[in-house]
C-alpha cells in the first residue's frame, strides 16, 4: 500500500475508532513505527487528525487548540490570506474585526492603510492597530478571556449592535461539509453573529485546515458571507454553495 492510500486509511480508522495506537497501525499496515510516526505527523500538520503520545485521535469538537499553537499554525497561509483581505479594504473604511489568530494577522496587514475606524472584541487586534495615530480603535466592553484576549458576553453583543460598519472581518474555527460555520465557544459565536448582522460586507477568512474541522457550536453558514478568503480551492460541495449564493471566492495559494 502506498503512502497516500495508507494515510487515507489511517484517517478512516481514527474516525471510526476515535483513538488508534501506533502499535495497532504498525501491525495493521506491516510497516515500521518510524513510518507510522511520519504519517501521523504529516496528517496532524494537515489538521486531519490530532497527534497524541503513542497514537492519534480526532480533533476535539468541544475544545480548541491552545492560542500559542494557533498563533504559529499555518502562519504563511494566514499572511497570504491577510494580504488578499486588506486589498479589498479601502482607506477610511469602517470595520469590525472578531476574535482569532487569522484576524490578528489581518490586523497587522491593515497597518499600511489610512484613516480606518475599527470596532473589535479582540484585545490583541486593538493593541496592534492602536499604534496607528490616524486609526480610531474602539474596544467592545465585556468579559476578557485570559487565554487569548477575546472579549465576550451579553454586554459585548449589545455593544456591537450599536454600530453599522462597512466590513465585518470574521475568522472561524471550522467549516462543515454543508457550509456550516463552527466554533467552540457559544459566547464568542453570539458576538460573531452580531458582527455579521451589522456589517454591510462580511469577509470570511479561513485557511484550508478549517474545512472539515469539527467544533460544536454553529455560528451560521458560509453562504452568509459576501466573500471567502482562503489559501486552497475548497471541495466541490462548498464551491456549489458559494456559486449558488453568489459568494465571491478569493484563493491566495
Within 8 A by CB and 6+ apart from 128, the residues are 104, 107, 108, 111
**Range of lowest pLDDT (21-25, 119-123, 132-136, 222-226):** 21-25
Residue 34 has pLDDT above 90, yes or no: yes
If one counts every other C-beta atom within 10 angstroms of the C-beta of residue 45, the result is: 13
Q: Residue 125's closest CA among 137, 136, 116, 114?
A: 137
Model confidence at 71, pLDDT cuts 50, 70, 90, reads confident
Q: Are 167 and 196 in contact (CB under 8 A)?
A: no
| Cα–Cα distance for residue pair 202/225, rounded to 1 Å | 5
| Interval 75-92: pLDDT, tens | 899 999 999 999 999 999
User: Does the pLDDT of residue 62 top 70, yes or no?
Assistant: no
User: Is pLDDT larger for residue 58 or for residue 130?
Assistant: 130
What does the pLDDT look like over 148-173, one tens digit per residue?
999 999 999 999 999 999 999 999 99
> Whole-model pTM?
0.78
**What is the structure's pLDDT at 36?**
96
What pLDDT, on a 0 to 100 scale, did the predictor assign at position 18?
Answer: 67
The pLDDT of residue 65 is 63
Name the percent of the chain in helix, strand, coil, to the closest 5.
40, 25, 35
Amino acid at each position: 500500500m502506498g503512502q497516500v492510500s495508507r494515510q487515507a486509511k489511517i484517517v478512516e480508522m481514527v474516525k471510526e475508532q476515535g483513538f488508534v495506537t501506533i502499535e495497532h497501525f504498525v501491525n495493521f499496515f506491516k510497516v515500521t513505527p518510524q513510518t507510522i510516526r511520519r504519517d501521523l505527523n504529516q496528517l496532524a500538520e494537515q489538521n486531519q487528525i490530532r497527534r497524541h503520545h503513542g497514537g492519534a485521535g480526532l480533533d476535539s469538537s468541544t475544545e480548541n487548540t491552545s492560542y500559542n499553537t494557533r498563533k504559529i499554525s499555518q502562519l504563511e497561509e494566514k499572511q497570504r490570506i491577510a494580504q488578499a483581505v486588506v486589498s479589498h479594504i479601502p482607506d477610511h473604511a469602517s470595520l469590525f474585526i472578531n476574535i482569532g489568530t487569522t484576524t490578528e494577522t489581518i490586523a497587522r496587514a491593515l497597518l499600511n492603510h489610512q484613516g480606518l475606524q475599527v470596532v473589535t472584541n479582540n484585545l490583541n487586534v486593538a493593541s496592534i492597530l492602536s499604534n496607528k495615530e490616524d486609526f480610531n480603535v474602539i474596544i467592545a466592553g465585556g468579559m476578557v478571556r485570559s487565554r487569548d484576549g477575546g472579549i465576550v458576553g451579553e454586554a459585548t453583543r449589545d455593544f456591537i449592535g450599536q454600530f453599522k460598519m462597512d466590513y465585518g472581518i470574521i475568522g472561524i474555527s471550522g467549516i462543515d461539509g454543508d457550509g456550516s460555520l463552527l466554533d467552540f465557544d457559544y459566547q464568542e459565536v453570539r458576538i460573531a453573529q452580531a458582527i455579521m448582522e451589522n456589517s454591510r460586507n462580511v469577509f470570511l477568512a479561513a485557511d484550508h485546515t478549517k474545512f472539515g474541522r469539527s467544533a460544536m457550536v454553529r455560528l451560521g453558514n458560509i453562504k452568509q458571507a459576501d466573500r471567502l478568503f482562503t489559501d486552497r480551492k475548497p471541495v466541490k460541495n462548498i464551491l456549489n454553495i458559494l456559486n449558488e449564493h453568489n459568494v465571491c471566492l478569493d484563493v491566495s495559494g
